[in-house]
Amino acid sequence: MKAARNETHASRAARFVGDEERARWHDGALWFVRERRDQAAARVPEWETLRQRAAAIKRHVLSDWATYLEQFEERAQSCGAVVHWASDAFEHNRIMLRLLRERRIERVVKSKSMLTEECGLNPFLERHGIAVVDSDLGERIVQLRNEPPSHIVLPAIHLRREDVGELFSEHLGTPPGLSDPEALTEAARQDLRGRFLAAQAGITGVNFAIAETGGIVVCTNEGNADLGTSIPPLHIASMGIEKLIPRAGDLGVFLRLLARSATGQAITAYTSHFHGPANRGELHIIIVDNGRSALAARPEQMDALACIRCGACLNTCPVFRRSGGHSYGAVIPGPIGSVIETARDPALHAGLPHACTLCGSCRDVCPVAIDLPSQLLAWRRQLVATGASDRTRDIAVGALGRLLASPRAYRAGGAFLRWALNWTPGWLERWIGTWLPTLRDRALPDAPGASFRARYARRRKTGIEHGSDATGGTRGPR
Amino acid sequence: MGRAEILASIARSAGLRPAADLPDLAGPWTSYGGSPRERREAFARAVEEAGGRCVVVASHAEVAERMEEATAVIPKPRCVSAVPGLGDSWETIQPSIGTDPSTLADIEWAVLPGAFGVAENGAVWVRGEALPHRALIVLPQRIALVLPADALVDHLHHAYARLRFEGRGFGSFLCGPSKTADIEQALVIGAHGARSLTVFLVETREPDA
């Protein structure tokens, strides 16, 4: 379900919140995950130290990036892995296809990898006659629904159990009306077990790539990455160039942060470390750029490369919670998506940096301390400068800027507003509410008796606060 | 091609990313009591929180007894062990390069050796070399891990201080049974991997078999 190019986050979000009940439910579901993160973080006294440490490690890697990439390649090769490099999504997909075709592979299982989503791998392989089954339960659900994941960690969080029940009844033959999560999960377990056993290759992402040892680490709760890589003889791992960490010991920092930030667990059920292939098996690692080195050339957004894809910023963001991942029209939604996807296609995603209230919550929960609000604000400035911004908004903000910059205009504007607030009849208020979202669900406030400036001046003169003022209003602030 | 292009792209903007120190591995990491007993209690709590069970036993023989009880159903399911000394009713799978993992698909119970456990999160490190086949960490329906009761570390930093990754190999931290919350955030134990995970902490050290 590709979003139309003329749609924006705002227009899609308007539809999402139109279903008030579902929007409220989605909001609650994500906030629940945010709270679990809080509980887990609170149990680690050195949490802030870990965050700063993680940020410092990532910053160090980026400051000597080529060295670490080359070291990783050399060590991985000495473990028996084959290392490929792909500049972009197309190259990545072609390498995948070649590896599979060379071995006449037609059936592949895949565990969660946002990078492969980014590259559009599934549709590409399908077009070339290779069946890819997403094995993570949430990914499997959205795959059967033929839609993209709405969250980077919880792909099906936008769905109710009844939706999944209906879906499984159609595709897995479960009884219609069955919506119990345990029963549905059991059905998926049985179905996917057969697919794991029949798969000829397993594709995974990479949570962390260890430069000093040449190993890759894959974390899951379901065990699907391990099933997908221990049964078939071929394991292909796709990794972004920013997934490097220098030493195995750095995993102590990152693993302590990852699961707690993502779901509130101390650690995932499986944290598998692959150094080279299994006996009689093959391990191919595809190192992918696809815009990451370009992001590293943006001083105001390069810190976003520290992202460990935990999803905490999505869970906490009030805009994400109340608009859903599909409103962003990008592979990676939410605060982090709004930074990195805009880099990928500024024209298409110019609205995303505005899908933000600058509340700062994302910055507070980010395990690698990425200052997302500053990055989004920088984007706004950069987009206006390149003319990629929304014209209407630019005009309105420009006018507001001129008003605020002129003390006389500001005072006149304030006086007019205080008069208008008292004068505006109900029918006019309602009409304005039909095109001004701020007034849709709110009534206009009462006008203050006098401007702060006037009250302050009076107070200085007489030492007394006055409730009434010269413009005729009799109501004043309490 | 891809490699040269990527490295060139990185090099072009390298000046924007000034040298930043690599932080030390040491840190103000919380210990879990410091005494083996407190560590064991923290570990057991963490295993339970992850949906697993933690049982302290006196010896391997006791592990065998408990496992007999757990598997006393008729017909007896297929139970394998990669831990020596569990008794004759336990099938031992020899490590073999040629093991076809699909022959392991009907295993109900697998008892596997754990190298050590981590008190902060209830995870157990399982070494690939100790397993007849690495699919044994995910294919069996139920898994028991056996490790010495004194083989516990406080936290992951100590875990990685202990681990050596030299050359080819596989290892995994297992924590609790497999699980998912992908359907409406409802936690379901037993996703694709094990439906249950029991950790046995054995108090007396067995001589190496």
- What are the pLDDT digits (tens) for A213-254? 999 999 999 999 999 999 999 999 999 999 999 999 999 999
Q: Which residues contact A248 (CB under 8 A, 6 or more apart)?
A: A210, A212, A213, A215, B160, B163, B165
pLDDT above 70: residue A306: yes
| Alpha helix segments (H runs only) across A43-88 | 47-63, 65-78
Name the percent of chain A lying above pLDDT 70: 96
CA angle A271, B52, B165 (to 5 degrees): 25
Alpha-carbon distance values, A411 to A168, A184, A268, A476 (Å): 63, 63, 58, 18
Asked if A268's CB is within 8 angstroms of B175's CB, the reply is yes
A466 falls in which pLDDT band (50, 70, 90)?
low
| Cα gap A235→A228, rounded to integer Å | 8
Taking CB atoms and an 8 Å limit, are A224 and B192 in contact across chains? yes
Asked if residue A261 lies in contact with residue A268, where contact means CB atoms within 8 angstroms, the answer is no
**Closest CB to A160 among B22, B184, B191:** B184
Q: Which residues of A touch B93 (CB under 8 A)?
A: none
Residue B159 with chain A: CB contacts under 8 Å: 252
Residues of A in contact with B18 (CB under 8 A): 63
Cβ contact, residue pair B135, A293, below 8 Å: no
Q: Which residues of A touch B20 (CB under 8 A)?
A: 56, 59-60, 62-63
Alpha-carbon distance of A192 to A171, in angstroms, equals: 12
Which of A96, A189, A261 to probe by mutation at the B interface, max B CB count within 10 Å? A189
Residues in Cβ contact with A21 at an 8 Å cutoff, skipping those fewer than 6 apart: none
Alpha carbon of residue B59 to chain centroid: 20
Chain B residues with CB under 8 Å of A159 CB are 183-184
Residue A304 Cα, gap to closest chain B Cα (Å):
13
Task: Please report residues of A whose CB lies closer than 8 A to that of B188.
Answer: 181-182, 185
Chain B residue whose CA is closest to A52: B23
Least confident of A13-27, A77-91, B195-209: B195-209
Q: Which of chain B's residues have a Cβ under 8 Å away from the Cβ of A314?
A: none
Confidence of residue A437 (pLDDT cuts 50, 70, 90): confident
Mean pLDDT of A92-115: 97
C-alpha distance from A237 to closest chain B C-alpha (Å):
15
Query: Which of A280-289, B30-39, B107-116 has the weakest average pLDDT?
Result: B30-39
CB B155 within 8 A of CB A252: yes
**What is residue A3's predicted lDDT score, i.e. its pLDDT?**
44
The confidence score (pLDDT) of residue A233 equals 95
Q: Tell me how far the alpha carbon of residue A223 is from its chain's centroid.
A: 23
User: B185 and A278: CB-CB below 8 Å?
Assistant: no
**The token pair that represents B58 in the structure block:** 């006196």
Residue of B30, B133, B160 with shortest CB distance to A251 = B160
Residue from the list B14, B98, B183 with its beta carbon closest to the beta carbon of A161: B183
Q: Pick the residue from chain B with its C-alpha nearest to A31.
A: B185
Q: Is A391 helix (H, G, I), strand (E, B) or coil?
A: helix
**Residue that the structure tokens 């591995």 belong to:** B25
> Is residue B183 a contact partner of residue A184, using CB atoms and an 8 Å limit?
yes
Q: Does residue A286 register a pLDDT over 80?
A: yes
pLDDT of residue A473: 46
Question: Given this model, what pLDDT does residue B48 score?
Answer: 98
User: What chain B residue is nearest to A167 in terms of C-alpha separation?
Assistant: B183
Judge contact between A156 and A167, C-beta under 8 A: no
Q: Under an 8 A CB cutoff, do B175 and A267 touch? A: yes
Q: How close does chain A come to B205, measured CA to CA in Å? A: 27
More confident residue, A119 or B18: A119
A274: confidence class by pLDDT, cuts 50, 70, 90: very high
Convert the pLDDT of each residue in B61-78 to its tens digit: 899 889 888 888 878 889
Percent of chain B with pLDDT over 90: 74
Chain B residues in contact with A84 by the CB 8 A cut-off are 2
Q: Are A140 and A184 in contact (CB under 8 A)?
A: no
Q: What is the structure's pLDDT at A5? A: 57
Distance from the Cα of B30 to chain A's closest Cα (Å) equals 7
Helix (H) or strand (E) holding A260: helix A251-262
Q: Which residues of B touch A215 (CB under 8 A)?
A: 165
Whether A329 and A347 have beta carbons less than 8 Å apart is answered as no
Is residue B163's pLDDT more than 80?
Answer: yes
Mean pLDDT value of segment B33-49: 93
**Strand order from edge to edge, sheet including B123-127:** A244-245, A208-210, A215-220, A270-275, B169-174, B123-127, B116-118, B152-153
Is the pLDDT at A296 greater than 60, yes or no?
A: yes
CA distance B54 to B67: 13
CA A64 from chain centre, in angstroms, equals 27
Q: Which residues pair with B53 in a beta bridge?
A: B198
Q: What percentage of residues in chain A have a pLDDT greater than 90?
A: 81
Q: Does B94 score more than 90 pLDDT?
A: no
Q: How far does B91 lie from chain A, in Å, by closest CA?
A: 21
Q: Which uninterrupted H or E stretch holds A253? A: helix A251-262
pLDDT grade, residue A432 (50/70/90)? confident
Contact status, residue A111 vs residue A204, Cβ threshold 8 Å: yes
**Pairwise pLDDT comparison (B45 vs A474), residue with the higher score:** B45
Find the range with the poorest average confidence among A246-260, A329-343, A379-393: A379-393
Alpha helices in A330-474 (DSSP H): 334-344, 361-365, 372-385, 391-405, 407-423, 426-435, 452-462
Give the C-alpha distances (Å, rounded to integers) separating A319 from A31, A150, A183, A359, B137: 12, 14, 33, 10, 40
List, for residues A148-201, the tens digit of each pLDDT value: 999 999 999 999 999 999 999 999 999 999 999 999 999 999 999 999 999 999
**Which of B6, B46, B97 is closest, CB to CB, to A280?**
B97
Chain B residues within 8 A of A138 when measuring between CB atoms: 180, 182
Q: Across the interface, do A248 and B163 touch by the CB < 8 Å criterion?
A: yes
Q: How many whole angstroms separate alpha carbon A133 and alpha carbon A203? A: 10
Mean pLDDT (chain A, rounded): 93
* CB half-sphere exposure, B163, CA atoms < 13 A: 32
Average pLDDT over residues B20-38: 91
A271 contacts in chain B (CB < 8 Å): 123, 172-173, 175
Question: In what side-by-side order are the strands of the sheet with A82-86?
Answer: A82-86, A282-288, A234-240, A201-204, A107-110, A131-134
Quick one: A458 exposed, middle or buried, by C-beta within 10 A (0-12, 13-18, 19+)?
Answer: middle
Rounded to a whole number, what is the distance in Å from the CA of A197 to chain B's nearest CA? 6
- Asked if A304 contacts A336 with a C-beta cutoff of 8 angstroms, the reply is yes
Look up tokens 């997934």; give the residue.
A243
- pLDDT per position as a tens digit, A34-50: 999 999 999 999 999 99
Residue type, B195: R
Say whether B178 and A221 touch across the interface (CB within 8 A).
yes
pLDDT at A10 over 60: yes
Q: What whole-number distance in Å separates Cα of residue B165 and Cα of residue B159?
A: 12
Reported confidence tier of residue A277, pLDDT bands at 50, 70, 90:
very high
Structure-token pair, residue B175: 């924590």
Q: Which of A91-105, A360-374, B100-114 has the lowest mean pLDDT?
A: B100-114
Q: Residue B9: which of A45, A278, A293 has the nearest Cβ? A: A293
Sorted by sequence, the CB contacts under 8 Å of residue A353 that are 6+ apart come out as A338, A339, A342, A376, A377, A379, A380, A383
Size of interface A-B (CB pairs under 8 A): 267
* pLDDT at residue A99 in the model: 98
Peptide bond into B113 cis (omega under 30): no
Q: Give the rounded distance of the alpha carbon of A421 from its chain centre.
A: 40
